[in-house]
Amino acid sequence: QVQLVQSGAEVKKPGASVKVSCKASGYTFTTKYIHWLRQAPGQGLEWMGIINPLGGSTSYAQNLQGRVTMTSDTSTTTVYMELSSLRFDDTAVYYCARDGTSIGSYPDYWGQGTLVTVSS
Amino acid sequence: DIQMTQSPSTLSASVGDRVSITCRASQSISGWLAWYQQKPGEAPKLLIYKASTLESGVPSRFTGSGSGTEFTLTISRLQPDDFATYYCQQYHSFSFTFGPGTKVDIK
């Protein structure tokens, strides 16, 4: 069965960086893009970017360009999302999610979420 | 960028009601639209993709319709498990945007 298992909760200070991992299993890792999304407390879903695990090509949301980096490791079937220069309003639950097709479309399977808290 | 809106933002209904949620895109997205259900503390769950295709395992009381810029999610007979927040998402031309959500609560 398809599973995406994310790393645990993080508490960071403003200006720091955070790196969240997402280990995929139950399907051929290199055949599906992975999306990253986040949800601030009480708010809606925000799409952050997408990575093709085969080759590592990425596309990021315009408002996060320059602060977000997504990478993949095919040997461990893990993708990573690093967000730098953290601000208080980066406090959110961060999700990875597998793309439902092979061309970039809708997330079908989601990780459990990782809470990142930015606090001084 | 393609912007998505949803209406209403909150919907109060009773078990057994038929409810509909509207999602509008700022430009035509053809049928490249998905719907999700999210309950508190959980990850979103995919309900419908390509505007009207039901994801495997999703009850048939959920239906999606529309194309271009206007889409609708309908729940034919609301069940206790359906009280949640619903999001639409467009995926046209390798861009991805979610609507702000519609909370369905108990009247």
Q: Which of B51, B84, B63, B70 is nearest to B18 (CA)?
A: B63
CA of B86 to nearest chain A CA: how many angstroms apart? 10
Check pLDDT > 90 for residue B2.
yes
Inform me whether the C-beta atom of residue B87 falls under 8 Å from chain A C-beta atoms.
yes
pLDDT, tens only, A68-116: 999 999 999 999 999 999 999 999 999 999 999 988 899 999 999 999 9
- Token representation of residue A29: 């890792």
* pLDDT exceeds 90 at position B34: yes
**Do residue B98 and residue A105 have CB atoms under 8 angstroms apart?**
no
Tokens encoding A99: 């793309």
Predicted local distance difference test score (pLDDT) of residue A102: 85
* Shortest CA distance from A100: residue in chain B: B49
The whole-number average pLDDT for the span B72-99 is 96
What is the SS3 assignment for A29? helix
Residue B49 has pLDDT above 90, yes or no: yes
Q: What is the per-residue pLDDT across B57-81, written as a single tens digit (0 to 9) for each?
A: 999 999 999 999 999 999 999 999 9
Q: Give contacts of B36 with chain A, Cβ < 8 Å.
A: 45
B43–A95 C-beta distance less than 8 A: yes
Report the DSSP pairing between strands B102-106 and B10-13: parallel
**What's the pLDDT tens digit per position in A19-77?**
999 999 999 999 999 999 999 999 999 999 999 999 999 999 999 999 999 999 999 99
Q: How far is CA A29 from the centre of its chain?
A: 15
A45:B87 CB<8 A:
yes
CA distance B51 to B59: 16
Q: Are B11 and B106 in contact (CB under 8 A)?
A: no
Q: What average pLDDT score do residues A1-30 get? A: 98
Residue A39's pLDDT is what? 98
Neighboring chain A residues of B100 at a CB cutoff of 8 Å? 44
Average pLDDT over residues B46-51: 98
| pLDDT, average across residues B77-97 | 96
The per-residue pLDDT for B33 is: 98
CA pair distance A58, A71, nearest whole angstrom: 8
| B12 pLDDT higher than 90 | yes
Euclidean distance between CA atoms B71 and B51, whole angstroms: 7
Q: Is A76 on the interface with B (CB under 8 A)?
A: no
> Does the beta carbon of A42 lie under 8 angstroms from any beta carbon of chain B?
no
Residue in A47, A112, A35 with CA at minimum distance from that of residue B87: A47
